[in-house]
A and B are shown apart, each in its own frame.
Chain A
Amino acid sequence: MRRHHNKTSRLSAAVATFLAITEGAGAAQLTNKDTESYTVIVTEGGVKNELAIAGGETLTFCNSGCFLTLPSGNKAALAGAEGVEIINGEAVVK
């Protein structure tokens, strides 16, 4: 029993290490808090894309980091896994 217990704890340590190594960046969440819809430009992995977001909508995008250009011309760089809110046409990165 004792030995078994040791084994499980060692296994869990290994799993923890593995998770720590493989933990990739998650996707970012873009939420439009305004009522009007916007078109933002997302550059991810060297590819530019336009993304339309309606008022009140939430999008998941940008799996491994990206550049974001808002309609106001302001820009932001995201590492991924951030939450971005558009309030009055401006991005607020959380």
Chain B
Amino acid sequence: MKPLLKFLIVALALLVALPALTQVTEEMASTVKGFDRELTLVEEALDEARGSDSALVGLYDRVRAVDSQLLSTGVALSPRLTEIHARLEQLGPALEQGGEPDALQQQRVALTEERALINSLIGQLEDMSVRSRRLENEISEARRDLFATTLSRRYDVTAAFGSDLIADLKVRTADFADKVGSWASFVWRFKPGPFLAATTLALMAAVLFLVFARKLLGRLIRRDPEATDPGYFSRLSVGFLGTLLPTLGLWLFFIFIYALYNYFSVLRGDIGLILMTLLLGIGVVNLTWQLSEAVFAPRLSQWRLVAVTDRAARRLKLLVLIMTVTIVADEVITQILGVVGDSLPITVAKSLVSSTIVGLTLLAIDFVRPFPGGEGKPDRPWPGVVRFLLRGTGLALIVAVAAGYIGFADFVSKQIVITGAVAVTFYIGHLAAREMSRENELLHSRFGKWLRVTFELSETAIDQLGLFAGVFFTFGLALVGVPLLLLLWGFKWADIRGWLLGFVNEFSIGSISISISGIIAGIFVFIVGFWMTKLIQRWLDKDVLTRSRIDTGVRNSVRTAIGYAGVTLAALVGVAAAGIDLSQLALVAGALSLGIGFGLQNIVSNFVSGLILLAERPFKVGDWIEAGGISGTVKSINVRATEIETFQRKTMILPNSELINSAVGNWTHRNTIGRIEIPVGVSYKSDPKQVRDILTGIAEDHPLILGNPEPYVVFADFGDSSLNFELRGYLADIGNILTVGTEIRFAIFERFEAAGIEIPFPQRDVNLKVVDKDGAVVAESTADLDFGTIAADRRARRDEE
């Protein structure tokens, strides 16, 4: 039975799985062989490439390309190994006494062979990874060496300007003219149609783009010469768009023309290279022109982005252009030399001229006095550091050239121009960002007004948008600018990316290792948790608790409790996700608990009180309570304190512990019913029964006073001047106590007056006794005497009147 089963399994496997899988393995084997060939090619090419940096970079990229695939190829192979391993286990070891079916044995042999093959492939890949690493190091070293020799190599300048130069120039010019001429005649003879078509098409595309762009955005990029003091944001956006549109148009033209020429195979390899360099060069010069026009605006000082004088703006623009043209020309000539054959005298002469021009231009920039000096004073020069740098590098360049260190001068001048261009561009970007975030700057710009109208944003929103945009822009600039500068300085993209990843993944300070991605992940988890808590809260509150008609106090408590629980949970998970060990936190908490016990006693007591308030619910949000000498409506019950709004609309924050430890009066605890009491005094002349009836009538007539419990009148006291009554009635909502009280008092006054019932003033009857020396009574005031009623009795006086 057992052998038969095995046989069946194996037959099935042989039929279905094996051929396909071996095919995959074979494909992999050829891939591995390809890698090996590529590495060998690079190794062979290395010695020849040692003289040229670009060739070395090309080789390096090739090695990197192989290197990056080695591991993934190995990883793709590995699962097959596990499969084979599993299948071999299934098959079991070969039976010693034999008797196995042939197919089974073949299967085992095939599998073992395949395993050996895969093992050897992975081994090869492993070796190649070591090899490619060594190659990478070697190439990097070669580049370093080349760089060092280029910089330190000294040329004989005077010899370069000898007859060799003239002879070389003649030969190379003729060669170049020949090449261009032959290409032109080739085009003329064989491809006149495509050539013209491509040129016309590209031209049309560019012109169409420019016309449409001008039509659409023309108003935005026009710099109105009559405008007085446009805002910085307007200046910037106009400058930016004004640079962008023509540049885009030109680049579009270049890209089209190059692509179309290629498509119609009008170009030949060498001519294509030269054309590309030429187009790139013209593009760069044009970009610099537009950019410097936007920044310096020599003729329209109100549109200028930097605060320099008219004269300085003119000069700076010119000097910047001179430098750019010099560097571009240098590059184009280098490219042409690459095509027609290198020549040392020409290279030396070219670098000498370009470096000298750059050096002199730097000195000229140094002499420009850019800042206006104020009344009668001469214009102010650059700040000291800038002047020092300009003068130092300018002089160093000229000295280096004169001493024959052409390579050094060439390198420095190019780096200065390119780095300078990038740095200045980003600096202006930074200034723009700062201006953008300045108060109300965006608001007063055309864009801001457009935003306001289109999206109906408030002024504050736009101002905040400006601030946010400014900050965001600055960060973006740093994020783009720093790697760009590093790239220009010869760092490799892979290195920069590695640093960035390393920084993000994990970096350590001393023994503490911090992982930014971990922290970000933690924050992210926390935000998600927080957001989900809010979601659950809202869902529970809106859809479940409302429907179940639970009273608002419980609802509020449940919502708050869920909120705190959710946030705590999210925080804990977030901390865990950030890679912070919770047990360590517990340790810290344990150590701090004593301190917390003392220092945070109040906070903790308030916190616990808050929890008790949520559970016990002596009052809920909206209740009218009296506590700690405050009377008002509860606005919210928080974990540390409770917010109470008094009737004067003053918000009082009452610590929860006070609400727990001392008496709290709640007018609206179980219900909102409350009693209103209105005391009133009537004169002794009135009929108490009539008074009672009137008062009861008033209470019964009032719509807000409940019929049950009935309102009633209390005959409270025989007062000094009046009979004191008290009208008591119950209100469904105690919140109406003031309005109802007022209305009832009005009614009492009116009905008493109508019924002739008097509300008396305080009365005093004063009896005077006049006594002589012996103590005998001379006169005694009585009611019938003239002065029996004294003037102090105002009622009497009133009666007389």
Contacts and interface: CB of A to CB of B under 8 A. Distances in A.
A92 B136 CA distance: 33
B499 to A, nearest CB: 13
Given A15-B520, A19-B517, A46-B132, A77 B122 contact: yes
A51 interface: no
B24 to A, nearest CB: 15
B718 interface: no
Contacts of B67: 46
Contacts of B123: 69, 75
Interface stretch (B75-83, B203-211, B440-448, B639-647): B75-83
Given A92-B82, A93-B79, A47 B71 contact: no
B517 A22 contact: yes
B517 A8 contact: no
**Interface size classification for chain A:** 20 to 34
Interface stretch (B296-304, B521-529, B546-554, B606-614): B521-529
A34 to B, nearest CB: 16
B119 interface: yes
Contacts of A18: 520
Contact of B523 (A15, A45, A77): A15
**Interface size classification for chain B:** 35 or more
B742 interface: no
A51 B653 CA distance: 64
Contact of B126 (A11, A74, A75): A75
B521 A19 contact: yes
Nearest to B133: A46
B507 interface: no
Contacts, number: 88
A73 B119 CA distance: 8
A84 to B, nearest CB: 10
Contacts of B125: 67, 77
A15 B527 contact: yes
Interface in A47-94: 47-48, 65-67, 69, 73-79, 90, 92-93
Interface string A16-60: 101100111000000000000000000101111000000000000
Interface string B337-376: 0000000000000000000000000000000000000000
Interface in B104-149: 115, 118-119, 122-123, 125-126, 129-134, 136
Contact of B524 (A9, A19, A74, A92): A19
A65 B122 contact: no
B531 interface: yes
A77 B115 CA distance: 14
B72 A79 contact: yes
Nearest to A41: B126
Contacts of A16: 524
Contact of A22 (B71, B118, B131, B501): B501
B436 to A, nearest CB: 19
A12 B528 CA distance: 8
A75 B524 contact: no
Given A46-B129, A93-B79, A76 B531 contact: no
Contacts of A76: 74, 78, 81, 122
Given A8-B527, A43-B126, A66-B71, 20 more contacts: A8-B531, A12-B524, A15-B520, A19-B517, A19-B520, A24-B505, A45-B133, A46-B129, A65-B75, A67-B122, A69-B123, A73-B119, A74-B115, A75-B118, A75-B123, A76-B81, A79-B72, A90-B85, A92-B82, A93-B78
30 contacts: A12-B531, A15-B520, A15-B523, A16-B524, A18-B520, A19-B517, A22-B501, A22-B504, A22-B505, A23-B517, A43-B126, A43-B130, A45-B129, A46-B129, A46-B131, A46-B136, A65-B75, A67-B71, A67-B74, A69-B123, A73-B119, A74-B85, A75-B81, A75-B126, A76-B122, A77-B73, A77-B75, A77-B77, A78-B78, A92-B85
Interface of B: 67, 71-75, 77-79, 81-82, 85, 115, 118-119, 122-123, 125-126, 129-134, 136, 501, 504-505, 517, 520-521, 523-524, 527-528, 531
